Copies of this chain bind each other. A is one copy, B any other.
């Protein structure tokens, strides 16, 4: 294998334009102190030769690596991929992240890290040392892992914490969970529901709590009860079966349920079906995530669309900006939307779809 060198380097451009390396470098990096005429001449050579800087060399000389690293939980991610149940969290991350990176000449790279292991620091440290990314995006459940955030802070690498409002280093970002839960609750209230149950996520996820808050607040504002109408699940199907059963077994069961994940919504459909409850006639249902499967259920689910793509896109922008200006200290929130489909209707109504 021929030793592969850069085919056209900054030297070639400098020679072609008849200037020093430094001037070419200045043009590439859009730095000041280059006369327009000069800049144009250099740019012409760059275009002519098809020159593209080597990010390895740029990184070596102490500047940027043009790499943004997104850290996902290894086990959860691999489980999703293997299960092939249509969870497109990673795809949405790529959609927002890759395209935004590309706009700025960056690339996004995904790294799987095992949160539970005791060598998180070694794993992450190795990735940081090897790649030297200019920014890191942490997704739950990594976002609030102090071993991880501490390491990043210590190394001075800008990072975003998706799904975290905590104080501390890094940019806290949320997908508007409280707001999104309000949207769902409002929708049901407007349809005439008064007893609205909520299937929450596990305590380990901060965002699970924020969603409860949104629901509770909206219910309280409307003068509606929430007592005994909230059950916890773990986002998975089985836990949804239990939670939905508990809610529907109550003396005064809800006429509508908001589930904090698509899997728990699927479970609720199953529980309703077993009890002969028609959705949406006897029970309205709203789910969170809006992953692909919700359109293939009977009926298709009204769902909160978590703005994964938009949030990651924003994270990338903030991380790239972090080189120049201080990142926001307050949590950054990107709101989701409610997508209305056939699983919600007024109490006792058939639904329109």
Contact = CB atoms under 8 A, between A and B. Distances in A.
A35 interface: no
A323 interface: yes
A292 B83 CA distance: 9
Interface residues of A, number: 64
Interface string A52-70: 1111110110100110000
A48 interface: no
B110 A95 contact: no
A7 B57 CA distance: 18
Contact of A4 (B78, B156, B292, B322): B156
A98 B84 contact: no
B155 A7 contact: yes
17 contacts: A4-B62, A8-B129, A54-B59, A54-B60, A56-B56, A56-B60, A57-B60, A80-B91, A81-B94, A81-B95, A84-B290, A85-B295, A86-B293, A86-B296, A107-B109, A109-B109, A293-B296
Interface of A: 1-8, 50-57, 59-60, 62, 65-66, 78, 80-82, 84-86, 88, 90-92, 94-95, 98-99, 102, 107, 109-112, 122, 125-126, 129-132, 155-158, 290-293, 295-298, 309, 322-323
